[in-house]
C-alpha cells in the first residue's frame, strides 16, 4: 500500500515540477512548445541526471514514456490556465515543497537500490530534487535562484540524510520513507512559513568580495 | 543511394551547426581555441545528449573522431573567414534550417533503431536538433534564444513527428526521411520567409506576470 | 612512486577546484550548503562529464565517495576561511593552474586507458580540465569567463596534446606525464606571469559584430 502511495506522490512531484517549469515559460511569454520543453526538462531533469550518473539504463522516462507525456500535457494545460495558478502561486510553493521532499527520498532510494554507498545515495537524493529546477532556471534565462534559497537545497539534503540514515540503522523501508519525507518537507515548510534561512557568507570588513 | 544522401546531409548539418557556434564565438571576440570549443559543442552537442540519454556507447564522435575533428576545422576556418559569413548571415539561417530538419529526423531514426518507443523517438529528434544550440547559447553567455524562437523547436518537433508517424504507419524508410525532413525544413522555411510564429503566452489583464 | 605522485596531485587538483567553486559561492554570499554544492560540482564536474562521455561506469566518485566527501569538506572549510584565501587569491590562481595541467593529463590518460583514439583523448583531457569550471560559472550565475581567458583552455589543450603525442611516439608513461604537465602548467604560468594571450577575433572595419 505504501508503494502505491510512493507512486502517487512520485507522479504528483513530477507534475508539480512540470508546472513550475511551465510557469517560468509563462514569465518569458513563450509559446506552447516552449512550455512543453521547459515543463518536461524540469519535471524529469533531476531524475535523468541521477540515472545517468548511476549508469541506470534505460533512463526511467525512456522506459516509461508516460512520464514525459505527462510533463508535456501538464505544461500545455498550464499554458491555458497559468493565470489561475499565478493567483495561487503560494499554493504552488507548497506543492513544490512536496515534490522536493519526495524526490530527495526517492532519488536516494533509487541510488541505494543500485548499490550506491550511503554518501552517494544522499548526493543522488539532492541531485534528483534540485537539478531539474537548476536546468529550468538556466534554460529559462533566470538566475539560478535555487542556490540562493538555502533552505531549498538544505531541505533536500536533510530529507536524504534522514532516509539514508534510517535505512542504515536498520529501520523498515516504510519508516525511513515517511521520516525522510517529513524531515525534508518539514524543513522546507518551516522555511516557507517562518522564513527560515542559514547564515550566509559575509566578507570580512575591509575586504572587497568581488575581486 | 538515399543512405549516402543522409550521410552527406548529416555531415552538412554538423558543419553548419559548428559554424553557428563559431559565429557566437566571433560575437564574443574569442580566440581561435574558443571558436574550436564552441563550434564543437554546437556541432556534436545535440547528438551527444541523445546518445547519453539512450545509453548508446560509444558515443558517435568517440567512435568516429572525424566528427569532432571536422567541427574543429570548420570552427577554425570560421575564425579567419567569419567576416565573409557574417555578410551572408541570411544564407546561414537557411543552412541552419537544413541542419535542424535533418537532425530532427536522424535523431528520431537513431532512437527507433535502438528500440525506443515513438514518443521517445520524437523527443530524441527534438533534443538532437535543439540541444546543441542551447548549450552554445549558455556557454557563449547568450540568452537561450532558441526558446523564444518558437518556430525553431516547433519545426524540429514537426519533422520528428512526421518521420516517426510515417514509420509507424508502415511507410518506407526513404519516404519517411524525405517527408520528415520536408515537414521540418518547410515549417522553418516558412518561419524565416514569412515570419511565422505561434501565439505566445500573454498574462491576463490586471495580472503581473513577473511575480 | 610516480603513481603515488599522480595520486597526490590528483587529489590536490580536486581540492583546488573545489576551493574555486566555494570562492564563487562566497562572491554570491551563499550559505554553507551552497558552498558545498558549488565546490563539489567544480571539483568533480569535469571528470564526471569525461566518464559519462566515455561510458565509464561506475563514475569515479560514485565508486570512491571519498572524492565527493573531500570536495564537501574543502568547500565547507572555505566557508569559514575564505577571507584568508581571498587575500591569497594570487596563490590560488597558481594552484588552479596546477589542477588544470594535471587534469588535462589525467583526463587524457583515462581516455587512452579506455581505448579512445588520440584525438578523443586530447578532447577528454580538455573537457576534464575545463568543464568543472564551466559548470561552476553557469550555476553560480557568472559569465563563463573560462571561454574568454584563452590561455586557460589553450594550456589544457597543449598539455593534453603533449601527453598524448609522447605516448603515441612510444615515450614512457612517466616521461609523458611529466612533459604533458610541464607543457600545460608552463603555458598557464606564462599567461599568469606575462599576460600571454592568443589573438582574438576582431570584426572587420565597417562591420557590426552584434548582428
Residues of C in contact with A126 (CB under 8 A): 37
Q: Which residues contact C77 (CB under 8 A, 6 or more apart)?
A: none
pLDDT digits over A104-150, tens only?
A: 999 999 899 999 999 999 999 999 999 998 898 888 888 776 666 66
* Closest chain A residue to the Cα of C56, Cα to Cα: A55
pLDDT digits (tens, 9 = 90+) for A21-51: 998 888 888 889 989 999 999 999 999 999 9
Coil vs helix vs strand at A5: helix
Q: Is B55 part of any domain? A: yes
Domains: count for chain C: 1
User: Helix B89-113 crosses helix B150-168 at what angle (to 10 degrees)?
Assistant: 40
C-alpha cell at C112: 587512452
B3 pLDDT more than 60? yes
Q: Which three cell numbers stand for residue C31?
A: 550559505
C-alpha cell at C183: 607543457
Q: Taking the alpha carbons of B5, B7, B8, B12 in that order, is the dihedral positive or negative?
A: positive
Over residues B67-83, the pLDDT tens digits come to: 999 999 999 999 998 87
- Measured CA to CA, the distance from residue A144 to residue A162 in angstroms comes to 26
- For every residue of C110-124, which 3-state class applies, written as one string? HHHHCCCCHHHHHHH
As a whole number of angstroms, the distance between CA C19 and CA C40 comes to 9
Cell numbers found for residue C86: 581571498
Within a domain: residue B189?
yes
Cβ pair A33:B117 closer than 8 A: no
User: Is residue C207 assigned to a domain?
Assistant: no
Q: Is residue C205 part of a domain?
A: no
Provide the β-strand partners of residue A31. B200
Tell me whether residue A103 is in a domain. Answer: yes
pLDDT confidence of residue A93:
77
Sequence-separated (6 or more) residues with CB below 8 Å from residue C80 = none
Largest CA distance in chain B: 60
For the beta carbon of residue A48, count every other beta carbon within 10 angstroms: 24
Q: Residue A4: pLDDT above 50?
A: yes
Please give the span between the terminal C-alpha atoms of chain A, in angstroms, as a whole number: 56
Residue in this structure with the C-alpha cell 581505448, named with its chain if needed: C115
What average pLDDT does range B26-46 have in this prediction? 90
Confidence of residue A14 (pLDDT cuts 50, 70, 90): very high
Contacts of A141 in chain B (CB under 8 A): 143-144, 147
Residues B39/B75, Cβ–Cβ less than 8 Å: yes
Contacts of A198 (CB under 8 A, 6+ apart): A150, A151, A154, C31, C32, C33
Give the DSSP letter string of C12-26.
HHHHHHHHHHHHHHH
The conformation of residue A200, written as its DSSP 8-state character, comes to B
Decide: B154 and A33 in contact? Cβ < 8 Å.
Answer: yes
Name the burial class of residue A169, with classes exposed (0-12), middle (13-18) and buried (19+) by CB atoms within 10 angstroms of its CB: exposed
Kindly give, in sequence order, each residue whose CB lies less than 8 Å from that of residue A146, ignoring residues fewer than 6 positions away: A130, A133, A134, A137, A152, A153
How many other C-beta atoms are found inside a 10 Å radius of the C-beta of residue B19?
24
Question: Is C175 part of any domain?
Answer: yes
User: Which residues in chain C have Cβ-Cβ distances shorter than 8 Å to A138?
Assistant: 138-139
pLDDT tens digits, one per residue of B120-174 = 999 999 999 999 988 988 888 887 766 666 688 899 999 999 999 999 999 988 8
H or E segment at B178?
helix B173-194
Is A34's Cβ below 8 Å from some Cβ in B? yes
User: At residue B187, does pLDDT exceed 90?
Assistant: yes
| Nearest-by-CA chain C residue for A139 | C138
C83/A207 touch (CB, cutoff 8 Å), yes or no:
yes
Rg (CA), chain B: 17
Residue C206 has pLDDT above 70, yes or no: no
pLDDT at C23 over 90: no
Tell me what percent of the residues of chain A surpass a pLDDT of 70.
Answer: 87
Residue A31 three-state SS? strand
Residue C30 lies in a domain: yes
CB within 8 Å of A90: residues ≥ 6 apart: none
* C157 contact B CB<8A: yes
Q: Which long-range contacts (CB under 8 A, 24 or more apart) does C107-113 make?
A: C107/C46, C107/C47, C107/C50, C107/C160, C108/C160, C108/C163, C108/C164, C108/C180, C109/C163, C109/C173, C109/C177, C110/C50, C110/C51, C110/C54, C110/C56, C111/C50, C111/C54, C112/C164, C112/C167
In this structure, the dihedral spanned by the alpha carbons of residues C203, C208, C209 and C211, taken in order and rounded to 10 degrees, is: -150
pLDDT of residue A12: 84
| Mean pLDDT of the region C174-187 | 93
Given an 8 Å threshold on Cβ–Cβ distance, is A69 in contact with B119? yes
Q: Of B40, C26, C185, C69, which is closest to residue A120 (Cα–Cα)?
A: C69
Query: Is-contact B129 B103, C-beta < 8 A?
Result: yes
The β-bridge partners of C56 are none
Beta bridge partners of B31: C200
Whether the CB of B200 is below 8 Å from some CB of chain A: the reply is yes
Question: For chain C, how far is it from start to end, CA to CA, in angstroms?
Answer: 56
Q: What pLDDT score does C81 carry?
A: 86
**Containing domain of residue A120, as a range?**
2-194
Contacts of B29 in chain C (CB under 8 A): 200-203, 209
C67 in a structural domain: yes
Give the per-residue pLDDT at A86.
Answer: 63
- For residues C68 and C39, is the Cβ–Cβ distance under 8 A? no
- Burial of residue A193 (CB within 10 Å: 0-12, 13-18, 19+) is exposed
Q: Residue A18's closest CA among A62, A100, A78?
A: A78
Tell me the pTM.
0.91
ipTM of the complex: 0.88
> What pLDDT was estimated at residue B194?
84
Residues 6+ apart with CB under 8 A from B114: B54, B55, B56
Please indicate if any CB of chain B lies within 8 Å of the CB of C205. Answer: no
Amino acid at each position: 500500500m505504501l508503494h502505491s502511495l510512493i507512486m502517487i506522490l512520485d507522479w504528483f512531484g513530477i507534475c508539480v515540477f512540470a508546472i513550475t517549469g511551465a510557469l517560468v515559460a509563462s514569465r518569458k511569454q513563450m509559446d506552447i512548445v516552449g512550455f512543453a520543453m521547459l515543463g518536461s526538462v524540469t519535471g524529469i531533469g533531476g531524475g535523468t541526471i541521477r540515472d545517468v550518473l548511476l549508469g541506470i539504463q534505460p533512463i526511467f522516462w525512456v522506459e516509461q514514456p508516460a512520464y514525459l507525456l505527462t510533463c508535456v500535457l501538464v505544461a500545455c494545460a498550464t499554458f491555458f490556465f497559468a493565470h489561475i495558478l499565478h493567483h495561487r502561486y503560494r499554493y504552488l510553493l507548497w506543492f513544490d515543497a512536496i515534490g522536493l521532499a519526495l524526490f530527495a527520498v526517492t532519488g536516494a532510494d533509487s541510488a541505494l537500490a543500485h548499490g550506491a554507498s550511503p554518501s552517494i545515495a544522499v548526493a543522488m537524493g539532492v541531485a534528483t530534487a534540485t537539478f531539474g529546477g537548476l536546468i529550468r532556471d538556466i534554460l529559462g534565462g533566470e538566475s539560478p535562484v535555487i542556490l540562493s534559497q538555502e533552505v531549498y537545497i538544505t531541505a533536500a539534503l536533510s530529507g536524504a540524510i534522514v532516509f539514508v540514515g534510517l535505512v542504515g540503522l536498520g529501520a523498515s523501508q516504510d519508516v525511513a520513507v515517511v521520516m525522510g519525507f517529513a524531515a525534508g518537507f518539514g524543513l522546507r515548510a518551516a522555511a516557507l512559513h517562518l522564513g527560515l534561512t542559514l547564515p550566509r557568507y559575509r566578507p570580512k570588513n575591509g575586504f572587497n568580495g568581488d575581486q
